[in-house]
Every structure is written in C-alpha cells, then in structure tokens.
Amino acid sequence: MARTADLTRATAETDISVTLDLDGTGRADIDTGIGFLDHMLTALARHGLFDLTVRAAGDLDIDFHHTTEDVGIVIGTAIARALGDKRGIRRFGHALIPMDEALADAAVDLSGRPFLVWNVEFQRPKIGEMDTELFEEFFRALAFNALITLHVTRRAGHNAHHVAEACFKAVARALRTAVETDPRIGDAIPSTKGAL
C-alpha cells in the first residue's frame, strides 16, 4: 500500500501544496519563496528518504512567519495522512547528528499525542533573511499536525546555519526510522492500546 499524501491548504495568508511519499528516495522539489527554508526542507527529504514536493505562496512582504508555520502545518498533515493507522511501523526514532561544530539530537514518537520540546538556542537572530525563531514555529506546526511527539536539542554549536541544518537532519533521520516498517510486528499497531 502506498504511503503517500497530496494536499493543498489555502488561507488569506498562504497557499500551499504538498505531495509526500514516505517510501521515496529523498527526492525534493521545494519552492517556498524562502531560500533557507527550501534548503532545510531539501535536507529533510534527503535524509528522511521522503519524496517531497512543496509549493508555497505567502505574504512574504509582511515576514516569513505565516509561510514557515503553514508549510509545517501542511507537511505535518501530509505525514499523518500518509501513515494511516500506523500498522507495522517502528513508531520511535532517534538521531544524533553532527554538522561541523554543531551537534543536534532529535527523538520522535508517532504516538498520536502531539507535543514539541525545543531546546535549541541560536546565537544570532537571522540566517540570511530568515528569523531563527521560526524554526521552532515550523517544528511545532509539523509535530502538532503530524500528531507526533518531537524533542529537538542543540547539544553543541555556535554557527546558526550549522545548528539549524543539524536539527533538520536529526529530525529527518529520526522520522525515517520511526516511519519504517518493522518486519517483526507484521501489520500490528505498535501500542499496547491497539491504536495510535
């Protein structure tokens, strides 16, 4: 069964379309109008081995907040839809990723209980034109709409670009593990409750 999603979300602030294949090869085709966000989403797809297409048109003349958050909403919703009832998945994933002097840790539980713990500080307020505070907004929107518990921690690093990239790659690798099918459990749902 294909674990894919194709959806669009339009508001007065943004118009976003996403296609996602959880069992892809890491192919990314991203255009959000925000160069650094495109770079991070490309890393998310590549290291998560997801095929991901994102098209976003937003009110960038105001700032990047609405577009960044709404892209997180739509990608998160796509992940939830592609996972379906979560039969046969590993459910949990963890990754510790270095990027030069930076080190980021991500842990994910595809629990159906959305939560974000964000322990990441940046030593400067912007990367290019993008506010570094928006990364927390992106991951909160992703976690709450994918219905996952997500913890992201910066363990080391002072270069903001490296810290952000390590975070995205860590989340990608943690998600990659969590969404993988587990041959040992067949089509069972990985929960003592019988549902996620």
Instruction: Specify the pLDDT at position 153.
Output: 98
pLDDT at 69: 98
CA distance 160 to 26: 24
Query: For tokens 């928006």, what's the residue?
Result: 134
What is the arithmetic mean of pLDDT over 146-168?
A: 98
User: How many C-beta atoms lie closer than 10 Å to residue 184's C-beta?
Assistant: 8
Which tokens in the block code for residue 191?
């929960």
**185: confidence class by pLDDT, cuts 50, 70, 90:** very high
pLDDT of residue 194: 85
Q: What is the DSSP string of 136-162?
A: HHHHHHHHHHHT-EEEEEEEE---HHH
Rounded Cα gap, residues 126 and 132, in angstroms: 5
Residues 6+ apart with CB under 8 A from 184: none
Is a pLDDT exceeding 90 seen at residue 147? yes
- Using pLDDT thresholds of 50, 70 and 90, give the confidence band for residue 102: very high
pTM for the model stands at 0.98
Radius of gyration for the chain, computed over Cα atoms and rounded to the nearest angstrom? 16
Percent of the chain with pLDDT over 90: 97
The dihedral of CA 27, 79, 72, 134: what is its sign? negative
Q: Residue 22: pLDDT band by 50, 70, 90 thresholds? A: very high
Angle (deg, nearest 10), helices 65-83 and 134-146: 30
- Give the model's pLDDT for residue 195: 87
Mean pLDDT of the chain: 97
| Structural domains in the chain, sorted by start | 4-179 (3.30.230.40)
Question: What pLDDT was estimated at residue 87?
Answer: 95
Instruction: Find the mean pLDDT for residues 143-149.
Output: 98
Query: Is 182 a residue whose pLDDT tops 90?
Result: yes
Q: Name the pLDDT band for 157 (thresholds 50, 70, 90).
A: very high
Confidence (pLDDT) at 4: 98
